[in-house]
Homo-oligomer: A and B are copies of this chain.
Amino acid sequence: MARRSIEDTSIVMVGAGNLATNLAKALYRKGFRIVQVYSRTRESAQGLAQVVEAEYTTDLTELVKDAKLYIVSLKDAVLVQLLPDIVAGKEKALWVHTAGSIPMSIWEGHVERYGVFYPMQTFSKQREVNFSHIPIFVEGSSAENTQFLKEVAAALSVKVFEASSEQRKSLHLSAIFACNFTNHMYALADKLLKKYDLPFDVMLPLIDETARKVHELEPKAAQTGPAIRFDENVINGHLQMLADEPRVQELYRLISESIHQSSKE
């Protein structure tokens, strides 16, 4: 019997947020069949469904029953709360969630075949990302399910890994620092520049080089600036400049101390 290709997999996307949108588009562009998109809001459901040529619904009881793979990408708390409603009547399908922070065991007792499909990247609806080098971490409730998820992932990216729930939790925590907190540092710089009527664009070569540098040097070796040597003249000058923003001032002080401590370790 001829083996069907992995792209014949019919997929339902439960959720149409930043990650779901980018993942669904990437799967669609690789030839996977997205049959339905669910979102709580019609705008999100319909918006994504149109792009990936799928049906859409805003009603969980209307989820199609015969898809092969259900990808659930909802806020963590919502997933936990709605899980029984989501899977009802479709307990034989393969179910995955996409959250770094949620263990695979959340599916236990609800469905028979399940797993996790975690693409570690920062996704925004406004920007379509290229999946080809995004690390995708998969975990399955059986060797067969794991293998299947690895094949789906391999259709999108050259970087596919198996990771346990424990490892994924660690990756997710690290990613918060490397991405979310990093972006907030950009945001704080942006806010300061706006205050001084200077354009954020001027920071881009510095931001790019800071990122490029850690491809070659360990972050600790790449560290520069007044905090390493705890140059009190410069640091105190900056703390004064931040006097009208106590929260940002406190962050400046703590991060500088942390850099200085790290340099001595």
* Interface presence of A180 (CB below 8 A): yes
A220 touches B180 (CB 8 A): no
Contact A210 B126, CB 8 Å, known A170-B193, A190-B219, A251-B254: no
* Interface presence of A84 (CB below 8 A): no
Cα distance A215–B203 in the bound complex, in angstroms: 10
Q: What is the 8 Å Cβ interface bit string for chain A, positions 210-241, against chain B (1 contact, 0 not)?
A: 11011111111111111101010110011001
Select the residue from A195, A219, A238 with max chain B CB neighbours within 10 A. A219
Cα distance A234–B223 in the bound complex, in angstroms: 29
Q: Which of B176, B200, B205, B237 contacts A226 (CB 8 A)?
A: B176
A121 touches B209 (CB 8 A): yes
Cα distance A23–B174 in the bound complex, in angstroms: 34
Contacts of A175 in B (CB 8 A): 189, 203, 206
Contact A187 B262, CB 8 Å, known A224-B18, A225-B180: yes
Contacts of A35 in B (CB 8 A): none
* Interface presence of A88 (CB below 8 A): no
Closest-CB distance, A228 to chain B (whole angstroms): 8
Contacts of A213 in B (CB 8 A): 122, 124, 127, 183
Cα distance A101–B191 in the bound complex, in angstroms: 19
B247 touches A258 (CB 8 A): yes
Closest-CB distance, A213 to chain B (whole angstroms): 6
Closest-CB distance, A234 to chain B (whole angstroms): 5
A192 touches B207 (CB 8 A): no
Select the residue from A76, A181, A220, A262 with max chain B CB neighbours within 10 A. A181
Contacts of A179 in B (CB 8 A): 206-207, 209-210, 224-225
Q: Which of B171, B183, B216 contacts A210 (CB 8 A)?
A: B183
Contact A180 B124, CB 8 Å, known A198-B170, A205-B135, A238-B173: no
Q: Which 10 A-B pairs have the closest CB atoms?
A: A180-B225, A187-B219, A186-B219, A170-B196, A178-B189, A211-B211, A177-B189, A174-B189, A174-B192, A178-B203
